[in-house]
Structure 1
Amino acid sequence: MTASPDRYCPDDGTRVPTGSLAWCCPVCAGPLDLDFMPTPAPLKSLAGRVGSLWRYAESLPLHDPSVSLGEGRTPLVALREGISAKLDFLMPTLSFKDRGAVLLAELALRLGPRRVVADSSGNAGTSIAAYCARARLPCTVHVPRGTSAKKLEQITAHGARVEVVPGDREATAGVARGAADEPGTFYASRVHNPYFLHGTKTYVHELWEDMGGRLPDVLVVPVGNGTLLLGASLAVEELYAAGLIGRRPALYAVQAAAVAPLAAAWQEGADDLLQGAPAGPTLAEGIAVPRPPRARQILRAVRASGGTFLTVTEDQIRHAQRDLAARGLYVESTGVACWAAVREHDAFRGEGARTAVVPLCGAGLKTGMAPAPASAPETD
């Protein structure tokens, strides 16, 4: 572990040694970043490497993994002219969260904690449970009341203990953080621990490789806690700094209109969340996060990329899920949010339309089909 990079607080610079089980900044309790700016390998050197995200070894803060389940290298398929989808629901646990969970489990295994705790509305908890099972680490996952029964079944099948919290995602995170402060506990936080972001960034490294050393005009990503967006931003900067891409794609962040605190801040030109942003029920439970801890970083990353925020209604989510299913892709309601945003957006239609990739992040079997839309489906 001595060769691995330290973590640090992006707000006050406080450093946390690699071997520490501390999960947040000891001064401000904020999320941590990793003191790590790698140089990715050139495209031609990737031929013949392992068929998982570990093929990008130069870009990862951990090497020689022992808990891998072959995650990564998911297919890229066309949806319509200029728009493709990356099928990240074809991961070992049927969710893109495997990209970050494998890094957290690998780190935990090397630190040797007494137990691992996590909080999740379902997919991240499933991933952490699976990779902790692979690493033979005892694991407890805290979930909010109302979490999909299918996701709870998947978590417990991997041997993890489930703790149901009588509250929303924020209340669940609070309970998990309290448990994380107990001695000998590794908090597998996809939000506070930067190793998770360095796992999700492989999504963009794979796009870059599959597109022959380039990226689309726009990367469209769903945003709740922003782990995929921030990982994408890391990868873009790494590839650009290494001279492996000539321009940076714009980041389009998608939120459900019912829970859109970042989109609301964006519309006001704010650098942080606004007070009292409304939140209601949404089919996109995986991105229903009223107060993401990395809000300032997310807003800054989207702004620096020349991107924007898009919101989708519940009926748009329903229509998009059915549209993808009709194309042969059965995706959970959170995972269709980006397609719901793109399929009607003027920027991706007609002459001069921008090219884009949308992630399909979770399998439909995790939640089932959303109720039928109230209105007739749009034509595409």
Structure 2
Amino acid sequence: MLVAMTTYLCPQDGTRADTTSLTWRCPECGGPWDLDFRISEPLSPNSLAGRVNSLWRYEEVLPLSAPATTLGEGRTPLVPLTDTVSAKLDFLMPTLSFKDRGAVMLAELARRLNPDRVVADSSGNAGTAVAAYCARAGLPCTVYVPEGTSPKKTEQIRAHGAQLHIVPGDREATALAARSAADAPGTFYASHVFNPYFLHGTKTYVYEMWEDLGGQLPDAIAVPVGNGTLLLGAALATRELLAQGLIERRPALIAVQAEAVAPLAAAFRAGADDLLDGAGDGPAAPTLAEGIAIPRPPRARQILAAVRASGGTFLTVPEDRIRSAQLDLAARGLYVETTGVACWAAVGDWTDRSVVVPLCGAGLKTGPAS
């Protein structure tokens, strides 16, 4: 059953909805939900020994428990790259990307709600993860992706048995097509953007880091940001760890965008609380970092607020640095997809403070930068 007293909550106007409903957005403002979820008891570091070696070991802080859909996701290695920069190898997940952290939560929630169908949209990795976990849960799944999505990702989606819709146009057109389908009765919209259960999956990235660093966190956590699901999960985890008395300070969140598609960085530098007027108008510029090429992220206000509250900042990287960063990591033994190298491209030469970067997807998903 679902955790008692957990409800959807609109951060804009306070509207609530039951988590047993299939309502995927606030009916008043149309924005994404947050989750009004209260941790019933603090996580005890001493209780972790002997627990399951997956993200579900942090059961006290998760809004779902005892999953039937798990594929053993989580507990990925943390390895040093330099004296100050370490990498979390989230490309070693069951579907080869960090999106498994949130997808397992969505699939588990959908399994308990038993909808007629599950719909998702993605630039590739989230759709692959949702397709895999829906297969695990025995749920019919349809995934919408934009034209130009890596054939290796579309092959993986089909292999998991999902119905694939390739949408003409960019990521925004794909999202609109999926949201139209999501409004059909009996449909669970497995949105990694609108459904907050996904964020409670991605927050385990930081809980694992905290455990592996002996109950501490680095000075900064750098994450690639498109729709911001990993960054918002990290912000959620650091708030929770601080509230539970498990850390003394919150690390700075360093948000990284491709220079070619950087609407959030532009808003941050302008001191704005939301996207600037005209952001996202017209087609998105091409970039090797396709997974973060999001011109109008629905959670923009939350992302900007989270970075500022942490004392962090935005960094942008040009295409040539993305290319060279992928080759540099490969020379270090780590072959990572082009989106996943953006943070290394941004912070690889830092020397003054400790930072962890995620390597979010395997290089085999997109191949080499060209």
Which TM-score band applies after superposition, normalised by the shorter structure?
A: over 0.9
Q: Is the 8 A contact 2:134 2:140 kept in 1?
A: yes
CA pair 338-178 structure 1, distance change in 2 beyond 3 A: same
The separation in 2 between residues aligned to 1:237 and 1:157, in whole angstroms, is 38
Q: Deviations over 1:21-73 (max 9, x none)?
A: 00000111100000013244121211110000000000100011000000000
Alignment equivalent of 2:159, drawn from 146, 157, 160:
157
Q: Is the 8 A contact 1:52 1:70 kept in 2?
A: yes
Query: Which residue of structure 2 lines up, in the alignment, with residue 43 of structure 1?
Result: 45
Which letter does structure 2 place at the counterpart of 1:329?
L
The separation in 2 between residues aligned to 1:263 and 1:276, in whole angstroms, is 14
2:336 matches 1:334: no
The separation in 1 between residues aligned to 2:217 and 2:44, in whole angstroms, is 15
The separation in 2 between residues aligned to 1:363 and 1:3, in whole angstroms, is 34
Q: Deviations over 1:268-312 (max 9, x none)?
A: 000000022374110000000000000000000000000000000
Which letter does structure 2 place at the counterpart of 1:26?
P
Aligned-CA RMSD value: 0.9
Query: Which residue of structure 1 lines up, in the alignment, with residue 268 of structure 2?
Result: 266
Q: Deviations over 1:211-262 (max 9, x none)?
A: 0000000000000000000000000000000100001100000000000000
Which letter does structure 2 place at the counterpart of 1:264?
A
Query: Which residue of structure 2 lines up, in the alignment, with residue 33 of structure 1?
Result: 34
2:358 matches 1:359: yes
Which letter does structure 2 place at the counterpart of 1:358?
V
Which letter does structure 2 place at the counterpart of 1:301?
A
Percentage of identical aligned residues: 74
- Paired residue secondary structure (2:253): strand
Q: Please give the residue correspondences for 1:202-221 in structure 2 after superposition, counting only pairs within 5 Å.
A: 202-221=204-223
Q: Is the 8 A contact 2:3 2:63 kept in 1?
A: no
Query: Which residue of structure 2 lines up, in the alignment, with residue 20 of structure 1?
Result: 21
2:71 matches 1:69: yes
Q: Deviations over 1:95-115 (max 9, x none)?
A: 000000000000000001000
- What are structure 2's unaligned runs of at least 5 residues? none
Q: Is the 8 A contact 2:93 2:100 kept in 1?
A: yes
Query: Which residue of structure 2 lines up, in the alignment, with residue 312 of structure 1?
Result: 317
The separation in 2 between residues aligned to 1:185 and 1:151, in whole angstroms, is 24
Which letter does structure 1 place at the counterpart of 2:131?
A
Which letter does structure 1 place at the counterpart of 2:151?
A
The separation in 1 between residues aligned to 2:362 and 2:45, in whole angstroms, is 30
Which letter does structure 2 place at the counterpart of 1:287?
I
Q: Is the 8 A contact 2:210 2:216 kept in 1?
A: yes
- What are structure 1's unaligned runs of at least 5 residues? 372-380
The separation in 1 between residues aligned to 2:45 and 2:30, in whole angstroms, is 39
Query: Which residue of structure 2 lines up, in the alignment, with residue 322 of structure 1?
Result: 327
Q: Is the 8 A contact 1:264 1:277 kept in 2?
A: no
Q: Is the 8 A contact 1:37 1:238 kept in 2?
A: no
When normalised by structure 2's length, the TM-score is 0.97
Kindly report structure 1 stretches of 4+ aligned residues shifted beyond 2 Å: 1-4, 276-279
Q: Is the 8 A contact 2:253 2:307 kept in 1?
A: yes
Q: Deviations over 1:152-206 (max 9, x none)?
A: 0000000000001101101100000000000000000000000000000000000
- Paired residue secondary structure (1:129): helix
The separation in 1 between residues aligned to 2:53 and 2:165, in whole angstroms, is 35
Alignment equivalent of 2:307, drawn from 302, 305, 312:
302
Q: Is the 8 A contact 2:2 2:64 kept in 1?
A: no
The separation in 1 between residues aligned to 2:163 and 2:3, in whole angstroms, is 33
Alignment equivalent of 1:113, drawn from 108, 115, 135:
115
